[in-house]
Amino acid sequence: MYSLTDLSKRDLEVLFDHIQAAIALVDRDGNLISWNSAFDIGKRQFPNANNLKDLFLQKDADALHLKLREGEKEHWAGEFAITETDAASLCDFWLVPTVHDHFIFIAERIESEADAEKMVEKLRKQVDLYRVESEFSKKLARNKQIEMEAVLAQAEEVAHVDPLTFLPNRRTIIKDLQSEVMRAERYRSLFSISVVDIDNFKSINDNYGHPVGDEILRQVAIQLRDGIRHPDVVGRYGGEEFIILLPNSDKNAAAEQAARLCRSIRDEVMHSREYSLQVTISIGIAQFRLGEDSWHSLLKRADNAMFEAKSGGRDRWVVGD
């Protein structure tokens, strides 16, 4: 059996060009990357439009901006310039996140009254479901309400916490990074980040086994968490990599912290099962450049600095350019 993953890029382009719905690939800011022939029909009316938001009314463009920033799968209805005339059409929209922080935008024109009624009925069912759930929760006994709130709180925590290290997980630390960049831009404040990587971690897994490697990850996470100041935040970025956010801190403050963390990790003897191990870390640092950096470019500079620390001998820190 074949799947979409078996199709080449050219096959997908041909497939999308034979779909009547307007389809476009955009980045998190809404900038247009590529689109199919159905989307191009509407875009011809706006030749200078380089951003998806340019094809919406202002109020709808603001709502689209929020949807892109939230990064979730979205489904809604509204007006869109999908035809060869300059009149907007009522459309059924989908916004689907993909890899590399991109989104697939789909606009399918609602051409008949029956289509419109189906869309309205679908929205009504969603509203009715919300109402039923709300009324049901009001009728719960107080102890059941408390129990439900506890379960919801646990679910919320699980969704944001890395289960191995109990630090904020990748998705959460990236959202926090994006928020701190927006805050630094708005208030013109200092902000730095550090990317931390455990040196030679693969050899630990290979020589001692993954359970030992997991225990080393947990112990390093504790060291990092306890070694930073408030309001700094550390999260697990993935594998043996961590990200530290340092609000209101310049690169010099981040370097002082990195030197302290390198020393504390190096001096700590970590125990797992019958083994006693000493590990080191490499840290890359980048300070946010107002008017130049995005969250992605800031993270990339710190990541490059971390690899520079690795190539320089490990067990050290480097401030990125």
The Cα–Cα gap between 49 and 51 comes to 6
pLDDT at 251 over 80: yes
Higher-confidence position of 72 and 2: 72
- CATH homologous superfamily of domain 170-319? Reverse transcriptase/Diguanylate cyclase domain (3.30.70.270)
Residue 113: the pLDDT is 47
Q: How far apart are CA 221 and CA 227, in angstroms?
A: 10
pLDDT exceeds 60 at position 66: yes
Mean pLDDT, the chain, as a whole number? 81
Q: What residues are annotated to the active site?
A: 240
CATH architecture, domain 4-113:
2-Layer Sandwich (3.30)
Neighbour count for residue 242 (Cβ, 10 Å): 28
The model's pTM is 0.56
Q: What percent of the chain has pLDDT above 70?
A: 75
Backbone angles phi, psi at 293, to 5 degrees: -85, 145
CA distance 78 to 90: 5
What's the confidence (pLDDT) of residue 54?
Answer: 83
pLDDT band at 258 (very low <50, low <70, confident <90, very high): very high
The full set of domain ranges for the chain reads 4-113, 120-160, 170-319
